[in-house]
Amino acid sequence: MKGRIGLWRFLPLTALFFLLAGCGEDRLTALDPYGPQAQWILDNMILSLYVMALVIIVVFTLFFIAVVKFRRRPGDDEIPKQVEGSKVLEITWTVIPVILLAILAVPTIWGTYYMAEEAPEAAGSSGGEQENAEGEEGEDSGEEPENAEEAEEEGALVIDVTGHQFWWQFDYPDGFSAGNEVYIPTNQKVWFDLSASDVIHSFWVPALGGKIDTIPGVDNSMWLEANEPGVYKGKCAELCGPSHALMDFKVIAMEPEEYEAWEESMTGQEASGEGESSEEEAAEEEQSSGNEGSEEGDTAASEGRQVFEDQGCIGCHAVEGQGTGQGPTLSNFADREKIANVLDVNNENLEGWIRNPDDFKQGNNMPASPDMSDEDMDAIIEFLNSLSAEEDMNQ
């Protein structure tokens, strides 16, 4: 009976959490987890809250009794007994906290290792990613060329993440890349190898798990898993400049079959932009030779595509799947949930953004084009709106 009463007393705390889960936005708040890692974090947070509630209840009770009971009444000049201390009490409030902390230390250490799990060996070598410094074991298998599909079947998708001021680049093992919106299959661990190109950022998807910093010159790694398909919001959590607050991203989780179709669609796009052997070369080539380079490809350039090249957009924004690292790839622009992650998707916002990006994201690196003619603008917008991987997928 006693035990039941005790549990009942703690119920309000748990209930409070379900109540609070309603406060935040669905698929953003960490109080409503959508993956095993986020669930683990929430469970252990609640565990620590129970332990801490114990401490708080004891202290607050003593405190309120003391301030009510031991008030000095007016005219009371009696000097209270001068107590030196109590060894028994001192030992009590040393030992009990030690026990409480030991209780918390166990899941802490277990969880630290749980979250630090490395990607299975095979995945690390496909797509030519850098291995995390701690994952040296991966080297053996690195010699056998393994294609990404096989790695995927083993359940280890490794996505390279690069933080830039103020956008995210996601490079997939198949060679294509995505900007600001990362697609993952549901119900499997997806690994992220993270770094940054300029300053330190931090990669955080509250509804799916914890965060880790992306640091220039350092390779970090973490995994996330989503239980359900959907769009999960991610944020940059490390101050990275004036538009730090706007450096959001989305994790779009799809059923594995659907994800595969998407992946194929993206890979197909990349194949259409042949003649680009690596990301850097692609960027240089585009910048130096202008539109000629891509005319060799079989893209029957629409008018918008032509303008996109003439205006130099392509110098930073790849549209064939591979990223340049200069700006987010626009291969699947029409699928975006937001423009530059801050603006609702509509043509007006898109035009406003292209004309003067600094109005919306202070300090970002995209040059303004305030004087572009309306025709060119319309053409570019039309072109951008035609870039969709999801549409291809459905066809």
Partner 1 sequence: MATETAANNNKSVLWDWLTTVDHKKLAVLYLIAGALFFIKAGAMAIFMRIQLMSAENTFLSGQTFNEFITMHGTIMLFLAVTPLIFAFMNFAVPLQIGARDVAFPFVNALGFWIFFFGGLLVSLSWFFGGAPDAGWTAYVPLSSGEYADLGLDFYVLGLQISGLGTLISAINFIVTIINMRAPGMTMMRMPLFCWTGLVTSILIVFAFTPLAAGLALLMLDRIFGGQFFMPDAGGNPVLWQHIFWIFGHPEVYILVLPAFGIISEVVPAFSRKRLFGYTAMVFATLIIAFLSFMVWVHHMFTVGIGPITNSVFAIATMAIGVPTGIKIFNWLFTMWGGKITFNTAMLCASSFVPTFVLGGVTGVMLAMVPVDYLYHDTYFVVAHFHYIVVGGIALGLLAGTYYWYPKMFGHKLNEKLGQLMFWLFYIGFHLTFFIQHILGLIGMPRRVFTYLEGQGMETMNLVSSIGAFMMGAGVVVLLINIVYSAFTSERITVRDPWDARTLEWSTTTPVPEYNFAQTPQVRSLDPWFYEKVHGEGLMKPAEPMDDIHMPNGSILPLTIGLGLFVWGFGMIMLEMANPIITPWIVIGTGVIITFGSMLLHSIHEDHGYHIPLDKIKKIEKEVG
Query: Please, what is the minimum distance in Å from the beta carbon of residue 309 to partner 1?
Result: 30
Q: How many C-beta atoms lie closer than 10 Å to residue 102's C-beta?
A: 9
Q: How many residues bind partner 1 (CB under 8 A)?
A: 91
Question: 285 and 296 in contact (C-beta within 8 Å)?
Answer: no
DSSP, collapsed to helix, strand or coil, labels residue 144 as coil
Instruction: Tell me phi and psi for residue 263, to 5 degrees.
Output: -60, -40
| Smallest distance from partner 1 to CB 32, Å | 9
| Residue closest to 333 by CA, chosen among 286, 395, 266, 287 | 266
Please pick, from the candidates 1, 5, 83, 300, the single residue that binds partner 1 as defined by CB under 8 A. Answer: 83
Neighbouring C-beta atoms of residue 347, cutoff 10 Å: 14
**325 binds partner 1 per the rule CB under 8 A:** no
Among 10, 39, 49, 261, binds partner 1 (CB under 8 A): 49
Residue 259 sits in the site that holds partner 1 (CB under 8 A): no
Instruction: For tokens 């309000």, name the residue.
Output: 12
What character string, x for contact with partner 1 (CB under 8 A) and - otherwise, covers 282-321? Answer: ----------------------------------------
Residue 134 interacts with partner 1 (CB under 8 A): yes or no: yes
| Segment interacting with partner 1 (CB under 8 A) among 104-112, 327-335, 345-353, 374-382 | 104-112
Out of 34, 35, 36, 41, point to the residue binding partner 1 (CB under 8 A): 41
- Reading the block at residue 294, the tokens are 């891509």
Burial of 22 (0-12, 13-18, 19+ CB in 10 A): exposed
Nearest of 36, 26, 323, 276 to residue 170 by alpha carbon? 323
Give the residue with the Cβ less far from partner 1, 157 or 246.
246
Asked whether 360 and 338 are in contact (CB, 8 A), the reply is: no
357-376 mask for partner 1 (x: CB under 8 A)?
Answer: -----xx-------------
Residue 75 to residue 158: CA distance in whole angstroms: 75
Task: Tell the smallest beta-carbon distance from residue 7 to partner 1 (Å).
Answer: 21
Say whether residue 89 binds partner 1 (CB under 8 A): yes
Minimum distance of partner 1 from residue 93's CB (angstroms): 4
What is the spatial distance between Cα 109 and Cα 227, in angstroms, rounded to a whole number? 25
Distance (Å, whole) CA 372 – CA 316: 18
Q: Is 236 in the site for partner 1 (CB under 8 A)?
A: yes
Select the residue interacting with partner 1 from 126, 169, 243, 329 (CB under 8 A).
243
Binder among 1, 3, 70, 75 for partner 1 (CB under 8 A): 70
| Cβ-based nearer residue to partner 1, 13 or 101 | 101
